[in-house]
Amino acid sequence: MAKQQPRSAKPARGGPVRPQPPARRAGEEPPAAPTGVPRPDPSRLVAEVELLRAELAVTRAQVKELEAKVESDPLLGIFNRRGFERELARSLAYVRRYGTPAALLYVDLDGFKAVNDRYGHAAGDALLRAVAAALQRNVRASDVLARLGGDEFALILWNLGEAEARAKAEALEAAVAAVGVPAGESVLSVGASVGVAPLGALDGPADALAHADQAMYARKAARRG
């Protein structure tokens, strides 16, 4: 019986004949890649990935540094209003979720404008630095201190009920009053009025600051008699 010859690929009607690749037997290696085509170097790929990771880490560090500059007061090195409002929003969310007691304190300096007008901005800046240092010394590392602008400061105090927060506010008023900055033959000083707003019943940063601001003005009026 005659052996049948393998059929060759028939061309499509009107088209060219395309050569068919030879069939591989079981266990046969695939044909080698054409010469002159470089194969990827695994060690080089790993080095490139590590380089990209290093560049990404540098970029993240730069972004973090820029964020810190944007959210800090250039004179005092503490949070500015923008940074404080972000911290306040986080604190309000934490209080609502876990029920941890916390309070917002709004601090307004009494008599600072007169110091600035009489002794100049350099003396005023020195007094602001001394006041900020006094406030920082009298709170914990977990508390948040910020300068909202001008002679206004704010604090977030953790794990304090309303009565404890009011007692702390009075202690901070005394700490500010004890600050003295030499200026020639004079010693510069200011007073402080501190308003307290517990965070548990407040809706958001704007609401919290408004309540603390109102409490501060009520405290200022009471101090004046």
CATH code at 92?
A: 3.30.70.270
115-140: pLDDT as tens digits = 999 999 999 999 999 999 999 999 99
> Quick one: tokens of 42?
């695994």
Is 186 a member of any domain?
yes
Active site residues: 151
**Burial level of 25, CB count in 10 A (0-12/13-18/19+)?**
exposed
- Look at residue 107 and tell me if it is in a domain: yes
Q: Look at residue 191 and tell me if it is in a domain.
A: yes
* DSSP letter (8 states) at residue 142: T
Residue 98 covered by a domain = yes
* 192 sits in which H/E element: strand 191-198
| Structural domain span for residue 87 | 72-224
Q: Mean of the per-residue pLDDT values for the chain?
A: 87
Residue 199 lies in a domain: yes
Number of Cβ atoms within 10 Å of the Cβ of 44? 9
Residue 215's pLDDT is what?
98
The helix (H) or strand (E) run that includes residue 168 is helix 162-177
Q: What is the pLDDT of residues 15-57, one digit of tens each?
A: 555 666 566 666 666 666 556 666 777 788 877 888 778 777 7
In a domain, residue 166? The reply is yes
Q: Judge whether residue 11 has pLDDT over 80.
A: no
Give residue 53's pLDDT: 83
How many domains in the chain?
1
pLDDT value of position 158: 97
In a domain, 39, yes or no: no
At 185-223, the pLDDT tens digits run 999 999 999 999 999 988 899 999 999 999 999 999 998
Q: Is residue 9 part of a domain?
A: no
Structure tokens at 206: 């704007």
